């Protein structure tokens, strides 16, 4: 029995750290940046976290693919906005992973633009939307926004819109007055 202890210790000391450095699947987090954005992809949880440090439109975001939600914390308005992600319009988790893996190539999917209108009622229970959304939107008022149909004109002040660039894929406009601000 004593002669098995030494090899076990050697395996633990040398093999375990080597295996920890081996990336064997897409379930490991992937970090990267595109422009002013820092992106963290957790494919296992189906979540992409975004930090945009652009001075003109600073925001943090969470794309929760399992719940098909985008949560954007708009620092200029000190509020969070939740939108349903349209799978036809939003980049897939694979698209984002591929762009982060090939940042230098500059080959990105075509850019799309979507416009959302903030709804007036405030969300009271963030826990129902999952931990990533709850953590992002904690301590700021949170609202849903509804996607405008393509081709419909906005009847609101364009100055009420916050423009977000989502990675290199698409631009989002979140428009409307946020109640109480």
Using only C-alpha atoms, the chain has a radius of gyration, in whole angstroms, of 21
Q: What are the residues facing 82 on neighbouring strands? A: 71, 144
Work out whether strand 69-74 and strand 79-84 pair parallel, antiparallel, or are unpaired. antiparallel
Helix (H, G, I), strand (E, B) or coil at 82: strand
- pLDDT mean across residues, the chain: 76
pLDDT in tens, the chain (181 residues): 555 454 444 333 333 333 333 232 333 455 555 567 888 999 999 999 999 888 878 899 999 999 999 999 999 889 999 999 988 888 889 888 887 776 544 544 555 688 899 999 999 999 999 999 999 999 999 999 999 876 555 566 667 888 888 776 778 888 888 776 5
Q: How far apart are CA 31 and CA 128, in angstroms?
A: 27
Q: How far apart are CA 74 and CA 142, in angstroms?
A: 10
**Other beta carbons less than 10 A from residue 158's beta carbon:** 9
Residue 120 in tokens = 């007036």
Residue pointed to by tokens 């929760």: 64
Q: What is the dihedral of CA 67, 90, 150, 130, to 10 degrees?
A: 20
Domain boundaries, the chain: 26-175
φ and ψ at 82, to 5 degrees?
-105, 135
């Amino acid at each position: 029995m004593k002669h098995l202890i030494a090899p076990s210790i050697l395996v633990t000391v040398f093999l375990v750290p080597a295996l920890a450095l081996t990336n064997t699947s897409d379930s490991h987090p992937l970090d990267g940046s595109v422009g002013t954005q820092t992106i963290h992809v957790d494919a296992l949880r189906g979540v992409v976290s975004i930090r945009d440090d652009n001075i003109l439109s600073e925001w943090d975001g969470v794309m929760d693919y399992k719940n098909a939600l985008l949560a954007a914390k708009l620092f200029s308005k000190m509020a969070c906005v939740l939108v349903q992600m349209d799978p036809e319009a939003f980049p897939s988790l694979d698209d984002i992973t591929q762009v982060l893996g090939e940042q230098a190539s500059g080959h990105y999917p075509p850019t799309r633009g979507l416009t959302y209108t903030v709804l007036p009622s405030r969300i009271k229970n963030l826990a129902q939307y999952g931990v990533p959304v709850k953590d992002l939107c904690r301590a700021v008022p949170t609202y849903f926004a509804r996607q405008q149909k393509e081709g419909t004109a906005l009847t609101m002040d364009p100055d009420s819109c916050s423009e977000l660039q989502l990675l290199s894929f698409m631009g989002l406009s979140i428009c409307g007055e946020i109640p109480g601000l």
